[in-house]
């Protein structure tokens, strides 16, 4: 899952500069529109539905890992 | 493409990169460094109906404000609105329905007033989905998306198709099979009274299909037949079966024989002078479809429905995929008539030995007009559709043509008629200063020397205006080989040719032969300046 998420972030944020410390604060490309695209991509890839609360908490790579793990994604 | 979109919801993800967006319901900023504009407003979610109605009314005012301020030479596409979610508390309250129709009617009226405005009816897209599929409320609340992101791909496909309709990229001709395609049953076995057409199902389904095709042909689509049958049997059906709608006179050409369909289609293309990539082949027999697909990959071959009751849906998808155009011109409506008059001409031609005598007998009338608001749509359409007799193959929209005129270019079009019929506007020439930017003629009028009479008449008038020399260019494409030496034949000198085959020409008007044969009755309709 970790590598998949890195790839999704690279694709959505359109930058190669993505690593495990990536977050909305450190990555200028990560704006609200890309957040929306990210949600759509995560929902499609892992076949899950993210709740609005989870979406608003999801501000970094580690947030994504935490939320997806909590939803049972492996 | 770099469009600026006025919107009141989050719709960015539906559009390709390069598009830019207004703020939500914000018309204070109108950029000028874009290729065009799109107006995509949706009905906001509001439960106070009178408030909602006045908000939608304000959109009309905003749109008209924007339309007045943008560059009239840039395309402006406006989408209609529709009610995707509203709660009307009383059955007899039509205020919302009525303001929606006001809004949409405003768009359709504005289309008449602003030539650069094209309206796309989004209800055409919404209609394919249930209310619950159109809005995904989670995404509405987290991002103010008025349309479900699940519809991303279908929306993009639909929207692209609509843009293509505006750009006039479409097929020109349908090749139809007969047995089990235009009627039920097999003529050779069931006889002219035994085939199923009209009356009850399944005859009724085939009758509808014929009526649908007949009406499509009125919009300029050419109908032809390619059927394995005895020709005389089919003539008998056309003449004697009282229920048939499509008869001999509705088909511009036909091949009814036992030859293979690939050969027949190639012949139809030659006879009608239409490229094979303009054909759609409709046949119930999968083997024939496969043969045509493999022989001519450029021909569109839709799958034919298994059951006659599926024909209405099939017809609609054929129209949507290949034939819908944004607006049709008078020339389109008359096209079948013209193609048939051409076939008559070919026959008349055969009985003459002296070609000049033949031309003389045709009473050819050539009318050359300067571009104006009435013929510009047709001129733009011709630049989009003409492939064979097209010297530079530059594609223009009506907005482009207007822009050229504004920049001092001269644009003329040619209408040709003869004793067999009026071909309408069938060619044009665009001058940028003393250089020919575009020269094209519809294949329908070729073979009568009109192309040379046209250019010589134009050159004569340039000479009268004191112009000494005219430059021209030939840019080769896959389809315009026939005009490779056109300018040489008209007395131009080729001064250079690039490795890609682009040829540059010049003609000195003082010593050029600009005589036009007297049997062309040439009429010039423009203001001499």
A36 to B141: CB separation less than 8 angstroms, yes or no: no
Is the pLDDT higher at A30 or at B432?
A: B432
Percent of chain B residues topping a pLDDT of 70: 92
In a domain, B14, yes or no: yes
Element (H, E) at B266: helix B261-272
Whole-angstrom CA distances from B167 to B86, B188, B351, B376 are 35, 44, 42, 14
Answer yes or no: do B298 and B404 share one domain.
Answer: no
A55 to B142: CB separation less than 8 angstroms, yes or no: yes
Nearest CB to B141; choose among A36, A49, A52? A52
In a domain, B216, yes or no: yes
Closest chain A CA to residue B142: A52
Nearest CB to B149; choose among A40, A51, A56? A40
Query: What is the ipTM, given to two decimal places?
Result: 0.84
B143 to A36: CB separation less than 8 angstroms, yes or no: yes
The CATH number covering residue B360 comes to 3.40.630.30
Examine the pLDDT at B352 and tell me if it is beyond 80: no
Q: Which of B136, B166, B196 is the last residue of a domain?
A: B166
Examine the pLDDT at B141 and tell me if it is beyond 70: yes
A37 to B13: CB separation less than 8 angstroms, yes or no: yes
A15-24, B4-13, B165-174, B272-281: which has the highest mean pLDDT?
B4-13
B142 Cα to chain A: minimum distance (Å): 6
Answer yes or no: do B141 and B242 share one domain.
Answer: no
Answer yes or no: do B142 and B227 share one domain.
Answer: no
In a domain, B513, yes or no: yes
Answer yes or no: do B400 and B455 share one domain.
Answer: yes
B17 Cα to chain A: minimum distance (Å): 12
Which of B308-313's residues contact partners 24+ apart within 8 Å by CB, and which partners? B308/B184, B308/B201, B308/B202, B308/B205, B308/B206, B309/B201, B309/B202, B309/B205, B311/B205, B311/B206, B311/B208, B311/B209, B312/B205, B312/B208, B312/B209, B312/B212
Contacts of B195 (CB under 8 A, 6+ apart): B179, B183, B184, B185, B186, B187, B237, B241
Answer yes or no: do B48 and B162 share one domain.
Answer: yes
In a domain, B252, yes or no: yes
Average pLDDT over residues B372-392: 88
Nearest CB to A52; choose among B10, B12, B142? B142
Answer yes or no: do B215 and B134 share one domain.
Answer: no
A33 to B12: CB separation less than 8 angstroms, yes or no: yes
A36 to B138: CB separation less than 8 angstroms, yes or no: no
B142 to A33: CB separation less than 8 angstroms, yes or no: no
In a domain, B78, yes or no: yes
Q: Which of B118, B133, B166 is the last residue of a domain?
A: B166
In a domain, B344, yes or no: no
Contacts of A63 (CB under 8 A, 6+ apart): A23, A57
**Using 50, 70 and 90 to split pLDDT, how confident is the model at B529?**
very low
What the block records as the tokens of B26 is: 């914000």
Residue B279 pLDDT: 93
Chosen for mutation from A52, A53, A56, A57 (greatest number of chain B CBs closer than 10 Å) is: A52
Task: Lowest mean pLDDT of B108-117, B118-127, B206-215, name the range.
Answer: B108-117
Contacts of B367 (CB under 8 A, 6+ apart): B414, B415, B416, B417, B523, B525
What the block records as the tokens of B434 is: 């003393």
Residue B334 pLDDT: 64
Answer yes or no: do B158 and B178 share one domain.
Answer: no
Residue B331 pLDDT: 58
How many Å apart are CA B432 and CA B493, to the nearest integer?
A: 19
**Using 50, 70 and 90 to split pLDDT, how confident is the model at B247?**
very high
Answer yes or no: do B87 and B137 share one domain.
Answer: yes
Examine the pLDDT at B18 and tell me if it is beyond 70: yes
A23 Cα to chain B: minimum distance (Å): 19
B12 to A56: CB separation less than 8 angstroms, yes or no: no
DSSP designation for B32? S
Peptide bond into B202 cis (omega under 30): yes
Residue B145 pLDDT: 92
Residue B307 pLDDT: 93
B48 Cα to chain A: minimum distance (Å): 26
- How many A×B Cβ pairs under 8 Å? 23
Q: For residue A11, which residues of chain B lie inside 8 Å, CB to CB?
A: none
B149 to A52: CB separation less than 8 angstroms, yes or no: no
**Using 50, 70 and 90 to split pLDDT, how confident is the model at B260?**
confident
Examine the pLDDT at A21 and tell me if it is beyond 50: yes
Instruction: Give the domain range for residue B396.
Output: 353-525
What the block records as the tokens of B371 is: 């571009």
Q: For residue A56, which residues of chain B lie inside 8 Å, CB to CB?
A: 142
How many Å apart are CA B140 and CA B125, to the nearest integer?
A: 19
Average pLDDT over residues B109-120: 83
Q: What is the mean pLDDT of chain B?
A: 87
Q: Which of B105, B133, B166 is the last residue of a domain?
A: B166
In a domain, B294, yes or no: yes
Number of domains in chain B: 3
Q: How many residues does chain A have?
A: 74
Closest chain B CA to residue A56: B142
Examine the pLDDT at B87 and tell me if it is beyond 50: yes
The CATH number covering residue B218 comes to 3.40.50.1000
Answer yes or no: do B162 and B212 share one domain.
Answer: no
Average pLDDT over residues B482-503: 92
In a domain, B495, yes or no: yes
Residue B528 pLDDT: 42
Residue B409 pLDDT: 94
Three-state DSSP state, B154 = helix
A 5-34 near B (Cβ less than 8 A): 32-33
**Using 50, 70 and 90 to split pLDDT, how confident is the model at B333?**
low
Residue B283 pLDDT: 95
Residue B501 pLDDT: 92
Task: Lowest mean pLDDT of A64-73, B2-11, B445-454, B490-499, name the range.
Answer: B445-454
Answer yes or no: do B187 and B147 share one domain.
Answer: no
How many Å apart are CA B49 and CA B57, to the nearest integer?
A: 12
Answer yes or no: do B231 and B367 share one domain.
Answer: no
Examine the pLDDT at B67 and tell me if it is beyond 60: yes
**Using 50, 70 and 90 to split pLDDT, how confident is the model at B344?**
low
Query: Which residues does B contribute to its contact with A (CB < 8 Å)?
Result: 10, 12-13, 138-139, 141-143, 145, 149, 152
Is the pLDDT higher at B72 or at B165?
A: B72
**Using 50, 70 and 90 to split pLDDT, how confident is the model at B167?**
low
A9 Cα to chain B: minimum distance (Å): 16
Question: What's the pLDDT tens digit per position in B461-473?
Answer: 899 989 999 999 9
How many Å apart are CA B126 and CA B135, to the nearest integer?
A: 11
Contact status of A56 with chain B (Cβ, < 8 Å)? yes
Answer yes or no: do B178 and B160 share one domain.
Answer: no
pTM of the model: 0.49
Percent of chain B residues topping a pLDDT of 90: 47
Residue B184 pLDDT: 95
Strand partners, A49: none
How many Å apart are CA B241 and CA B233, to the nearest integer?
A: 11
Examine the pLDDT at B427 and tell me if it is beyond 90: yes
Residue B336 pLDDT: 63
Average pLDDT over residues B163-191: 85
């Amino acid at each position: 899952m970790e590598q998949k998420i890195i790839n999704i972030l690279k694709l959505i944020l359109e930058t190669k500069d993505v690593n495990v410390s990536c977050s909305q604060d450190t990555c200028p490309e990560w704006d609200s529109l890309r957040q929306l695209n990210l949600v759509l991509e995560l929902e499609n890839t892992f076949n899950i539905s993210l709740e609005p609360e989870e979406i608003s908490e999801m501000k970094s790579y580690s947030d994504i890992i935490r939320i997806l793990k909590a939803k049972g994604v492996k | 493409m770099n469009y600026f979109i006025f919107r009141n919801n989050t719709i960015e993800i539906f559009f390709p990169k390069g598009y830019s967006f207004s703020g939500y319901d914000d018309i204070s900023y109108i950029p000028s460094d874009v290729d065009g504009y799109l107006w995509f407003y949706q009905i906001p979610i509001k439960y106070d109906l009178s408030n909602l109605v006045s908000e939608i009314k304000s959109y009309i005012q905003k749109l008209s404000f924007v339309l007045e301020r943008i560059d009239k030479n840039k395309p402006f596409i406006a989408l209609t609105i529709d009610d995707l979610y509203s709660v009307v508390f009383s059955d007899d309250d039509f205020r919302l329905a009525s303001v929606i129709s006001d809004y949409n009617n405003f768009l359709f009226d504005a289309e008449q007033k602003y030539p650069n405005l094209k309206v796309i009816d989004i209800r055409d897209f919404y209609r394919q989905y249930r209310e619950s599929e159109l809005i995904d409320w989670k995404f509405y609340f987290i991002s103010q998306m008025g349309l479900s992101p699940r519809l991303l791909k279908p929306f993009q496909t639909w929207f692209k198709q609509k843009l293509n309709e505006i750009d006039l990229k479409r097929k020109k001709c349908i090749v139809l099979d007969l047995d089990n395609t235009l009627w039920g049953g097999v003529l050779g076995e069931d006889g002219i009274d035994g085939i199923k057409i009209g009356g009850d199902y399944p005859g009724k389904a085939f009758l509808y299909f014929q009526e649908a095709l007949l009406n499509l042909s009125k919009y300029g689509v050419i109908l032809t037949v390619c059927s394995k049958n005895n020709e005389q049997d089919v003539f008998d059906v056309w003449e004697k079966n009282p229920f048939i709608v499509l008869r001999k006179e509705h088909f511009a050409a036909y091949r009814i024989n036992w030859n293979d369909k690939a050969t027949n289609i190639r012949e139809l293309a030659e006879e009608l002078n239409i490229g094979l990539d303009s054909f759609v082949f409709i046949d119930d027999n999968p083997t024939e479809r496969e043969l045509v697909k493999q022989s001519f990959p450029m021909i569109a071959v839709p799958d034919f429905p298994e059951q006659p009751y599926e024909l209405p849906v099939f017809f609609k998808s054929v129209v949507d995929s290949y034939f819908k155009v944004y607006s049709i011109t008078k020339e389109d409506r008359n096209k079948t008539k013209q193609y048939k008059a051409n076939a008559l001409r070919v026959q008349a031609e055969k009985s003459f030995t002296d070609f000049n005598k033949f031309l003389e007998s045709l009473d050819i009338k050539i009318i050359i007009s300067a571009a104006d608001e009435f013929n510009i749509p047709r001129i733009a359409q011709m630049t989009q559709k003409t492939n064979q007799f097209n010297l530079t193959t530059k594609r223009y929209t009506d907005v482009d043509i207007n822009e050229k005129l504004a920049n001092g270019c001269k644009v003329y079009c040619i209408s040709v008629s003869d004793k067999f019929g009026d071909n309408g506007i069938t060619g044009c020439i665009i001058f940028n200063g003393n250089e020919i930017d575009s020269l094209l003629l519809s294949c329908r009028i070729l073979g009568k020397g009109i192309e040379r009479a046209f250019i010589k008449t134009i050159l004569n008038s340039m000479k009268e205006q004191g112009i000494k020399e005219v430059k021209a260019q030939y840019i080769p494409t896959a389809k315009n080989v026939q005009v490779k030496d056109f300018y040489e034949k008209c007395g131009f000198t080729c001064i250079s040719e690039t490795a890609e085959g682009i040829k540059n020409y010049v003609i000195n008007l003082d010593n050029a032969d600009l005589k036009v044969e007297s049997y062309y009755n040439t009429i010039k309709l423009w203001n001499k300046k």
